[in-house]
Structure 1
Amino acid sequence: MARIIDKIAWIRLESGRILGTRSRGKDRYYLPGGKREAGESDHDTLVREIDEELSVAIVRETAVLFGSFEAAAHGHTDGTLVRMTCYTADYRGTLAPSHEIEEIAWLTYADRPRVSPVDQLIFDHLQERGLWG
């Protein structure tokens, strides 16, 4: 039986690009977000993780479910999957890398090879629906 990592991610599109993050020591970009803590709702996780990683406040009432995606977990043993539940939302503040985040970048579909497998599925979803801007 596959091990599933439950993650929440933020989809932030601006000017035809999507916000990506790269953690210290990693070679791939990931959509901002992270793992749920015990007892947390999706919205609680989204708000906490984005504050920790990017030093901005998600406007909770603007959070809208974008979709859920599942793929092999990058950097984990075979049979480990990540299930990424994604939300769009507005934010307050100025985006800045924080904690384990070394870099933020605005990515396009051309950057697809530089992101994790589950993020590649999300990039494809955006491309298929003409949502890049």
Structure 2
Amino acid sequence: MPDLIDKIAWIHLEQRRLLVARNAGRERFYLPGGKREPGESDLETLVRELEEELTVVVDPGTAAYVGTFEALADARSDGLVVRLTCYTASHSGPFAPSREIDEITWITSVDGDRVSAVDRLVLGHLRDADLID
């Protein structure tokens, strides 16, 4: 079993709120994105995952690195860590949950109990940077 889950995530803010998604059968929301396929770069992963999850097309030429955050995986006692490398980027197309996504919503920094431990770190970072309410 790996000690690290390495994921790429999209930070998308509107009106000082953060876009998050919830998988089928899950309670917590998470930042859109996911694990890379073999040989994929961060941006290739970002583009593929967002098209799969939200049916939007991300422009990799507009991507900007936000930060990398690490926290213990939720509901695990084996020390598994999630590393989340986050980017902003422009997109085209309307948001529509697809594939395994049941719901998308907008959250603020007071919604930390609705997201995973690593996403709470991202919320804190965005709040400290005065980018989110």
- TM-score above 0.5: yes
Find the aligned partners of 2:110 and 2:127 in 1 and give their Cα distance. 11
Aligned partner of 1:25 in structure 2 is 25
* Secondary structure of 1:19 counterpart: strand
* Secondary structure of 1:50 counterpart: helix
Aligned partner of 1:92 in structure 2 is 92
CA RMSD of aligned residues (A): 1.5
Find the aligned partners of 1:20 and 1:106 in 2 and give their Cα distance. 6
Find the aligned partners of 2:72 and 2:97 in 1 and give their Cα distance. 26
Find the aligned partners of 1:28 and 1:73 in 2 and give their Cα distance. 12
Please identify runs of 4+ aligned residues in structure 1 that moved more than 3 A: none
Corresponding letter in the other structure for 1:52:
E
Which TM-score applies when normalising by structure 1?
A: 0.96
* Secondary structure of 1:112 counterpart: helix
Equivalent positions of 1:57-76 (< 5 A) are 57-76=57-76
Distance apart, 1:109 and its partner CA = 1.1
CA contact (8 A) 1:72 1:78 kept: no
| CA gap 1:4/1:107 in 2 versus in 1, 3 angstroms | same
Find the aligned partners of 1:117 and 1:25 in 2 and give their Cα distance. 18
Unaligned runs of 5+ in 1: none
* Secondary structure of 2:52 counterpart: helix
Aligned partner of 2:116 in structure 1 is 116
CA contact (8 A) 1:65 1:87 kept: yes
CA contact (8 A) 1:8 1:86 kept: yes
* Secondary structure of 1:98 counterpart: coil
Distance apart, 1:81 and its partner CA = 0.4
Corresponding letter in the other structure for 2:42:
D
Percent of aligned pairs with the same residue?
54
Aligned partner of 1:40 in structure 2 is 40
Unaligned runs of 5+ in 2: none
Aligned partner of 1:107 in structure 2 is 107
Aligned partner of 1:79 in structure 2 is 79
Distance apart, 1:77 and its partner CA = 4.3
Distance apart, 1:78 and its partner CA = 2.3
